[in-house]
Chains A and B, each alone.
Chain A
Amino acid sequence: MALLEINDLHASVGEREILRGIDLTVNAGEVHAIMGPNGSGKSTLAGVLAGRELYHVTSGSVLYDGKDLLAMAPEDRAREGIFLAFQYPVEIPGVSNMYFLKAALNTIRKNKNLPELDAMDFLNLVREKMKLMEMEQALLNRPVNTGFSGGEKKRNEIFQMAVLEPKLAILDETDSGLDIDALRTVAGGVNALRSPERSMIVVTHYQRLLNYIVPDFVHVLSEGRIVKSGGKELALQLEESGYAGLGIVDEEEAVGKR
């Protein structure tokens, strides 16, 4: 059985339809890259899977581990193993990173019928994961994402993923705003988390990230539909010919050429 089965998914924001019939199947352990120009619906797809209220699913279905994903509250999706790495991680002043992550981990553990971790065990766990992400421990005591640099925020997302150990990780433009060193660190963290039990959906505009996180499958999204699917070589082809090579208008590139 597939881990995730998306069938003819349509979703809107207000009156505007953004996803216009997405079909996608992700099996355990697979890494799928979703590429596409701005406005193609990449982030909407990521948001719908995580349960963002802004998007309204108008038709279609999503089965996750055999269950109706769309009927689940965002927190229940997380407890069942879905993790969204945010394109723009949210700053939450007044809530310490440590407190937040411990609360999150223990809720997820409780759902798996595992005992809650005490402060000591939790600290040992996060120390190990912080090393992986080359993060300073001081960040743990700071409020969630507050005053973090762009790179620190993205590393913090992957660090959380490492601690929460999801079954399905959705990375929403995790590469945006990163310099090459930060990109390597983040990609290194993601690669260390690849396993036969963990699937990933990597949403990106640029092929660059896929040099570091090599996908099993690449899908190209345009105007709310997957217009082309292939292996990792599809990403390279896009790099050579651009979205225009597939007959897709990339608003950003089009603007650039003007």
Chain B
Amino acid sequence: MTAVAEQTGAWLAEFTAQKPAEPWLQELRNAAFQRFAELGFPTTKNEEWRFTNVAPIARTTFRVSAAGFAARFRGAEKIEAGGKCFDAARLAAEPNAFVALNAAFTDRPCVLRVPRGAVVEEPIEITYEIAAAGDRPAAVHPRILIVVEANAQCAIVERYSGEGRYLTNAVTEIVAGEGAVVDHYRVQQESREAYHISTLRATLGRSANFSSHSIALGGALVRNDANATLSEGSDATLNGLYIVNGKQHIDNHTEIDHAKPHGTSHEVYKGILDGQATAVFNGRIIVRKDAQKTDSKQTNKNLVLSDEAVIDTKPELQILADDVRCTHGATIGQLDEEALFYLQSRGIGKGEARSLLTYAFAQDILDRIKVPALKDQLEKALTEKLHEHGK
């Protein structure tokens, strides 16, 4: 057997054991599995995965389990399971093995449509909670497709949590129509033994406004891909906060594709690293030949609290147009000793002063969250997580 076949063999057994789906879905599943088998799991020789070794996932025999989720939404009309959530042509050329794997096991996709002009006041909440597994670790492959039609407006909150060792391999696609306004939040609080792979792909129509907020606190091995493709005059914001300690590894790959003129994009990813944690930030910005008057800004800031934590950060700008403005910057720093002393000189203990400054570093990402209940919840989660760091 080839190495690839070895890795995919266990998945084949799971795949053939799957209950057959409706013909259209089964056909796509078959195509997807074939694509996955062709690709195999990425290795660190693959530039896209250079700093993230998924061998622990490839070596594990998982039990595929239906992606159980709780969804809460008002005002968005839910499309029945017959709603297509795959683009067959794209699937055949899918570059990401995990996305293909997800499609091969898609069981109950969450497909939602926000009708033209509708303003959904309450956020659409989709929550995945993975229970502790039995003999073999569970693998879940959540798939979400949200179509926000022209001039409609909504906020989507995805949450991930669970117990024990398992794999979450989630794919979320968002199609924002002309003039649509979509705010996407993903709150990742997986167990400390979990593998979490996520792919977010947003396609923006003319003058659409999209924001993505990725808050990553959990998981042992985490890879997030967040991609946005812009049209004329659309605006994309990609924000992220990752807080890792112990031996956690997180890899954030983002791609903003300015395909048409007059697009604007803003990206701020911030990381707090402690212990022996490792993190990767790779921010690709593509400005196509036609995409004149693009305005793009990317920032990645990292606060490294220990001597052993490692961050690899890389901006990747591919600019083919000549009348554009693109800026990028990355920083890696420690807590400011002067600020620590200032706080201590006012009676605030050293541990608390460190937490306060660390929290302050993350504050502006939380400040950009527009769902008040979520912001409150995350402020509490962050305080707890930082308390864990202080120990």
Say whether B47 faces chain A, with CB atoms less than 8 Å apart.
Answer: no
Chain A residues within 8 Å of chain B by Cβ, number: 31
Most central of B350, B353, B360, B361 by chain A CB within 10 Å: B360
Say whether A84 faces chain B, with CB atoms less than 8 Å apart.
Answer: yes
In the bound complex, CA of A103 to CA of B339 (Å): 15
Binding site for B on A (CB under 8 A): 50-53, 73-75, 77-79, 83-84, 86, 89-95, 100-101, 103-104, 107-108, 111, 143-144, 160, 164
Say whether B49 faces chain A, with CB atoms less than 8 Å apart.
Answer: no
Please state if B347 and A52 are interface contacts (CB–CB under 8 Å). no
With contacts A73-B350, A95-B360 taken as known, whether A100 is within 8 angstroms of B343 at the C-beta atoms is yes
In the bound complex, CA of A93 to CA of B360 (Å): 7
- Interface on chain B toward A: helix, strand, loop, or mixed SS? helix
Cβ–Cβ < 8 Å partners of A75 in chain B: 344-345, 347-350, 353
Please state if A74 and B341 are interface contacts (CB–CB under 8 Å). yes
With contacts A52-B341, A74-B341, A92-B339 taken as known, whether A111 is within 8 angstroms of B347 at the C-beta atoms is yes
Please state if B357 and A103 are interface contacts (CB–CB under 8 Å). no
Please state if A160 and B346 are interface contacts (CB–CB under 8 Å). yes
A-B contact pairs, 12 of them (CB 8 A): A53-B337, A75-B350, A78-B345, A78-B347, A84-B345, A86-B345, A92-B357, A94-B359, A95-B356, A95-B357, A103-B352, A164-B347
Please state if A92 and B360 are interface contacts (CB–CB under 8 Å). yes
Please state if B360 and A74 are interface contacts (CB–CB under 8 Å). no
In the bound complex, CA of A52 to CA of B346 (Å): 12
Please state if B341 and A53 are interface contacts (CB–CB under 8 Å). yes
Cβ–Cβ < 8 Å partners of A143 in chain B: 360
Lowest 4 A-B CB distances belong to which pairs? A94-B360, A78-B347, A104-B346, A74-B344
Say whether B86 faces chain A, with CB atoms less than 8 Å apart.
Answer: no
Given A86, A93, A108, which contacts B347 in the complex, CB threshold below 8 Å? A108
In the bound complex, CA of A144 to CA of B345 (Å): 14
Cβ–Cβ < 8 Å partners of A74 in chain B: 341, 344-345
A93 nearest CB across to chain B (Å): 7
Give a binary string over B48-78; 1 marks a CB under 8 Å from any A CB, 0 the rest: 0000000000000000000000000000000
A157 nearest CB across to chain B (Å): 10
Please state if A94 and B361 are interface contacts (CB–CB under 8 Å). yes
Closest A residue to B362 by beta carbon equals A94
Chain B 352-378 residues near chain A, CB threshold 8 A? 352-353, 356-357, 359-361, 363-364
Cβ–Cβ < 8 Å partners of B360 in chain A: 92-95, 143
Cβ–Cβ < 8 Å partners of B350 in chain A: 73, 75
Please state if B344 and A86 are interface contacts (CB–CB under 8 Å). no
Cβ–Cβ < 8 Å partners of A100 in chain B: 343, 346, 348, 356
Cβ–Cβ < 8 Å partners of A93 in chain B: 360
B345 nearest CB across to chain A (Å): 5
Please state if A50 and B357 are interface contacts (CB–CB under 8 Å). no
In the bound complex, CA of A104 to CA of B364 (Å): 23
Please state if B344 and A73 are interface contacts (CB–CB under 8 Å). yes
Binding site for A on B (CB under 8 A): 336-339, 341-350, 352-353, 356-357, 359-361, 363-364
In the bound complex, CA of A51 to CA of B352 (Å): 17
Given B338, B344, B349, which contacts A51 in the complex, CB threshold below 8 Å? B344
Cβ–Cβ < 8 Å partners of A95 in chain B: 356-357, 360
Closest B residue to A75 by beta carbon equals B344
In the bound complex, CA of A75 to CA of B344 (Å): 5
A47 nearest CB across to chain B (Å): 9
In the bound complex, CA of A33 to CA of B136 (Å): 74
In the bound complex, CA of A73 to CA of B336 (Å): 18
In the bound complex, CA of A146 to CA of B338 (Å): 14
Cβ–Cβ < 8 Å partners of A108 in chain B: 347
In the bound complex, CA of A79 to CA of B337 (Å): 20
Please state if A90 and B349 are interface contacts (CB–CB under 8 Å). no
Please state if B342 and A90 are interface contacts (CB–CB under 8 Å). yes
Most central of B338, B345, B349, B363 by chain A CB within 10 Å: B345
Please state if A89 and B342 are interface contacts (CB–CB under 8 Å). yes
Cβ–Cβ < 8 Å partners of B338 in chain A: 90
Cβ–Cβ < 8 Å partners of A90 in chain B: 336, 338-339, 341-342
Please state if B345 and A51 are interface contacts (CB–CB under 8 Å). yes
Cβ–Cβ < 8 Å partners of A86 in chain B: 342, 345
Please state if B348 and A103 are interface contacts (CB–CB under 8 Å). yes
Cβ–Cβ < 8 Å partners of B364 in chain A: 94
In the bound complex, CA of A66 to CA of B345 (Å): 20
Cβ–Cβ < 8 Å partners of B342 in chain A: 86, 89-90, 92, 144
Cβ–Cβ < 8 Å partners of A79 in chain B: 347
A117 nearest CB across to chain B (Å): 14
